[in-house]
Amino acid sequence: MASIELRNIRKAFGAVEVIKGVDLQVRKGEFMVFVGPSGCGKSTLLRLISGLEDITSGEMLFDGKVVNSLAPSKRGIAMVFQSYALYPHMTVYENMAFGLTLEKGTSKDEIRKRVERAADMLQIGQYLDRLPKQLSGGQRQRVAIGRAITRDPKVFLFDEPLSNLDAALRVATRIEIAKLHEEMNNVTMIYVTHDQVEAMTLADRICVLRDGLVEQVGTPMELYETPNSVFVAGFIGSPKMNFISGDKAKPFNAETVGIRGEHITIVPSGGTWSGTVIHTENLGADSYVYLEMGTEEPVVVRLEGANSYKSGDTVHISPMEGKIHRFDGAGKPIL
Amino acid sequence: MGATIDLWKIAKTIMFYAVVVFIVVVSVFPFYYAILTSFKSGTDIFRVSYWPVSFSFDNYTAVFNQGSFPRNLLNSVFVASVTVILALFMAVTAAFALSRVRFRGRGFLLMVILAVSMFPQIAVLAGLFEVIRFLGIYNTPWALIFSYTIFTLPFTVWVLTTFMRDLPIEIEEAAIVDGATPWVIITRVFMPLMWPALVTTGLLAFIGAWNEFLFALTFTSSNDTRTVPVAIALLSGGSQYEIPWGIIMAASVIVTVPLVVLVLIFQRKIVSGLTAGGVKG
């Protein structure tokens, strides 16, 4: 229910500047994902929004009001931590109710109602009397999310909530978070992850961060189709975009040419480029062919269904029309 | 081949238990002999025996009817309890600051706290005496509480700081987001997690205060304000030349019992792994 605006936000730990001037607007009810490699400052940025870290300079506005010096609990936020951060000596119910019991003027009945409503949403109603240590990792993370829901926040902050879960549980919980966003569609959510799949699947808009600066903000498809730098192009999408530079890129009037594995076709002869197969991966529904053709990293071609190429085969490939990304020497797109 | 191995195995087992028995005898025998002696009466006391031969409660009734021993016992309970409460309260709050609040000179302050505990009691005795006279608490239990707290705090603060530093920072941050003040964090989130450390340091502080002799002797002057260790040392017999061993032993046993009981009670409360489940791991 809150819009958030960051104006030239900077954060320094001693002499080290981690956030180097971020301008960003998060709209009301939006699901915004911060994504970037480790050390890019995405978690720090989230902690600045939460109020757990102080802002070195710049302005942070919630609904147009400056909140720079407002305590976390007064900002109307709730946070889900990577390590769950449940209170180990309290039952699930007490964990979820703790924040409400600290607020004056919330009656016991009201607290019980809100905890039970949150527990129902997450299907943890039958665990309310248990201690965190009696729960599995996935259940613990759900309790942590439930604790955040109970507080009825205007802004929901997630700090890599899925990275401690195993692969199957991660997908299930991801879907649950997406459902949560649909149900609570007037709550602004900010989600930090280093996993671009989570970013693509959950986000209304993604904010790609690099070295303490915003690299690009946009919807998942905008980032996928029109990345505004080599960095974003390489970060969004799986498998990673192929970059071809030097002489092979010259015919396209670019320093570097980027082409995604799914936008390359294998042609019987001729073609734009050719390379030697060094490895193949069959995943059933699709398959990847890795080609050695003098680039820094092997070129990956994604094919529908299985394939029968063998290492050592020479194949000819062509990019699909209009799917090529051209970049200049500075890594910026040529339009 | 097999036989020699078995022999060696048996020999090792025997040696192990021999060492165990030796250690137990050496550590328990003095107390055992004190109990034994406390139940003897009259001239029996001077006859050496290692098994109970006579059994009488004379010494125990004598202790309680003589002078101000019950009063001394109460003094000891009061002084030790208040010391523990004061020390734990100050140590927990100090430990929170030292482990969780970033400020200039924190490491130096911790070293100073540790350094304070290196002074021998006798070195500060005279100075402390002046302070206590100045504060006007000479010959009151507060003189002892004051000095014991000073001597207990460095250790207590140090242990609790180390323990609190190991508590996951995310739990504290979750509490901050939930709107908890530092006081609420300490009392409702950290204290329940710190039971093992609190019990251990509290118990050690209690034992220290309970057994302390030098300060108790120096800072009190009347029978009614003394604590038990001093009272026992000053127990006198019928004449100048008689040392009332039986009564001394009975008193010693009485003083030891509360400590044993305390340890037995709290030993069950020391539950390790209390933080399990709160955070990943």
Decide if pLDDT at B214 tops 80.
yes
* Least CB–CB distance from A73: residue in B171, B179, B276: B179
Residue A230 and residue A249 share a domain: no
Residue A206 and residue A81 share a domain: yes
Residue B195 or residue A128, greater confidence: A128
Least confident of A27-41, B12-26, B61-75: B61-75
**Coil, strand or helix at A121:** helix
φ/ψ of residue A37, rounded to 5: -70, 165
Distance from CA of B250 to the nearest CA of A (A): 43
Give B270's pLDDT tier (boundaries 50, 70, 90).
low
Cβ–Cβ < 8 Å for A239, A300: yes
Q: Could you tell me which of B209, B218, B211, B95 has the C-alpha nearest to residue B149?
A: B209
**pLDDT reported for residue A143:** 93
Please give the DSSP secondary-structure letter assigned to residue A331. Answer: S
**pLDDT reported for residue B54:** 75
Residues of chain B with Cβ-Cβ distance to A134 below 8 Å are 277
Residues of chain B with Cβ-Cβ distance to A137 below 8 Å are 280
The secondary structure of A6-22, three-state, reads EEEEEEEECCEEEEEEE
In which element (H, E) is residue A80 found?
A: strand A77-80
In CATH, what number does B58-277 get?
1.10.3720.10
Inter-chain touch A89–B274, beta carbons under 8 Å: yes
Residue B68 or residue B95, greater confidence: B95
Give A280's pLDDT tier (boundaries 50, 70, 90).
very high
Q: Residue B209 and residue B213: Cα distance in Å, rounded? A: 9
φ/ψ of residue B16, rounded to 5: -60, -50
Residue A164 and residue A145 share a domain: yes
Give residue-wise pLDDT tens across range B233-250: 888 766 667 778 888 888
Residue B246 or residue B146, greater confidence: B146
CA nearest to B184 within chain A:
A102
Helical ranges in B212-244 per DSSP H? 214-219, 228-233
Could you tell me the residue range of the domain that residue A312 belongs to? 239-327
What are the tokens at B189? 């989130």
CA nearest to B181 within chain A:
A102
Decide if pLDDT at A56 tops 90.
yes
Give the other-Cβ count within 10 Å of B61's Cβ: 12
How many domains are contained in chain A?
Answer: 2
- The residue whose two tokens read 């030796």 is B22
Residue A163 and residue A55 share a domain: yes
Mean pLDDT of A189-216: 94
> pTM of this prediction?
0.80
Residue A142 and residue A112 share a domain: yes
Q: Could you tell me which of B93, B195, B88, B94 has the C-alpha nearest to residue B148?
A: B88
Q: Residue A252 and residue A327: Cα distance in Å, rounded? A: 10
Least confident of A12-26, A52-66, A176-190, B227-241: B227-241
Residue A118 and residue A86 share a domain: yes
Q: Could you tell me which of A175, A176, A80 has the C-alpha nearest to residue A122?
A: A176
Cβ–Cβ < 8 Å for A291, A298: yes
Residue A181 and residue A262 share a domain: no
**Coil, strand or helix at A162:** coil
Where residue A299 sits, what CATH number does that domain have? 2.40.50.140
Question: Is the minimum CB–CB distance between B170 and chain A shorter than 8 Å?
Answer: yes
Site from A49, A98, A169 to mutate, B interface, most B CB atoms within 10 angstroms: A98
* β-pair type (A213-218, A205-210): antiparallel
Q: Residue A190 and residue A49: Cα distance in Å, rounded? A: 9
The secondary structure of A239-282, three-state, reads CCCEEEEHHHHHHHCCCEEEECHHHEEEECCCCCEEEEEEEEEE
Give residue-wise pLDDT tens across range B247-265: 888 888 888 888 888 888 8
* Least CB–CB distance from B180: residue in A82, A89, A102: A102
Q: Give A15-70 as a DSSP string.
A: TEEEEEEEEEEE-TT-EEEEE-STTSSHHHHHHHHHTSS--SEEEEEETTEE-TT-
Inter-chain touch A87–B175, beta carbons under 8 Å: yes
Q: Which residues of A270-294 are buried (b: 16+ CB within 10 A; e: fewer)?
A: ebbbebebeebeeeeeebbbbbebe
Decide if pLDDT at A315 tops 60.
yes
Q: Give B176-212 as a DSSP string.
A: HHTT--HHHIIIIIIHHHTHHHHHHHHHHHHHHHHH-
Find all residues with CB under 8 Å of B53, minimum gap 6, and list them. Answer: B40, B44
Decide if pLDDT at A156 tops 90.
yes
Any domain includes A69:
yes
What are the tokens at A139? 């259940």
Cβ–Cβ < 8 Å for B154, B113: yes
Residue A252 and residue A144 share a domain: no
Residues of chain A with Cβ-Cβ distance to B184 below 8 Å are 102
Cβ–Cβ < 8 Å for A8, A23: yes
* β-pair type (A286-292, A273-282): antiparallel
Residue A60 and residue A45 share a domain: yes
The residue among A192, A216, A234 that closes a domain is A234
Any domain includes A333:
no
**pLDDT reported for residue A68:** 92
Any domain includes A332:
no
Residues of chain A with Cβ-Cβ distance to B177 below 8 Å are 50, 52, 72-73, 77-79, 99
The residue among A217, A234, A251 that closes a domain is A234
Mean pLDDT of A24-46: 93
- Spell out the domain ranges in chain B: 7-55, 58-277
Decide if pLDDT at B124 tops 50.
yes
Residue A299 or residue B266, greater confidence: A299
Cβ–Cβ < 8 Å for A214, A23: yes
Mean pLDDT of A33-60: 93
Q: Could you tell me which of A95, A47, A101, A111 has the C-alpha nearest to residue A75?
A: A47
Tell me the residue length of chain A.
Answer: 335
**Coil, strand or helix at A71:** coil
What percentage of chain B carries pLDDT values higher than 90? 43
Distance from CA of A254 to the nearest CA of B (A): 48
Site from B166, B167, B178 to mutate, A interface, most A CB atoms within 10 angstroms: B178
ipTM score assigned to the predicted complex = 0.85
Give B274's pLDDT tier (boundaries 50, 70, 90).
very low
Mean pLDDT, chain A, whole residue set:
91
Cis peptide before A37 (omega within 30 of 0): no
Give residue-wise pLDDT tens across range A80-105: 999 889 999 999 999 999 999 998 88
Residues of chain A with Cβ-Cβ distance to B279 below 8 Å are 83-86, 88
Give the other-Cβ count within 10 Å of B26's Cβ: 9
Give B40's pLDDT tier (boundaries 50, 70, 90).
confident
Q: Could you tell me which of B25, B56, B27, B26 has the C-alpha nearest to residue B39?
A: B56
What percentage of chain B carries pLDDT values higher than 70? 92
Residue A267 and residue A159 share a domain: no
The residue among A185, A211, A234 that closes a domain is A234
- The dihedral built from the CA positions of residue B104, B107, B108 and B113, taken in this order, carries a sign that is positive
Q: Residue A198 and residue A178: Cα distance in Å, rounded? A: 10
Residue A250 and residue A154 share a domain: no
What percentage of chain A carries pLDDT values higher than 70? 100
Mean pLDDT of B125-132: 92
Residues of chain A with Cβ-Cβ distance to B171 below 8 Å are 85-88
Decide if pLDDT at B1 tops 80.
no
Reported in sequence order, the residue ranges of chain B that DSSP labels E, i.e. its strands, are none
Give A268's pLDDT tier (boundaries 50, 70, 90).
confident
Inter-chain touch A164–B175, beta carbons under 8 Å: no
Mean pLDDT, chain B, whole residue set:
86
Rounded to the nearest 10°, the torsion over CA A176, A178, A183, A189 is: 120
Q: Residue A191 and residue A149: Cα distance in Å, rounded? A: 15
Residue B119 or residue A218, greater confidence: A218
Find all residues with CB under 8 Å of A263, minimum gap 6, and list them. Answer: A319, A320, A323, A324
Residue A95 and residue A42 share a domain: yes
**pLDDT reported for residue B281:** 44
Mean pLDDT of A164-168: 87
Mean pLDDT of A38-45: 92
Inter-chain contacts counted by CB atoms under 8 A, chains A and B: 88
Q: Residue B164 and residue B190: Cα distance in Å, rounded? A: 8
Q: Residue A161 and residue A157: Cα distance in Å, rounded? A: 10
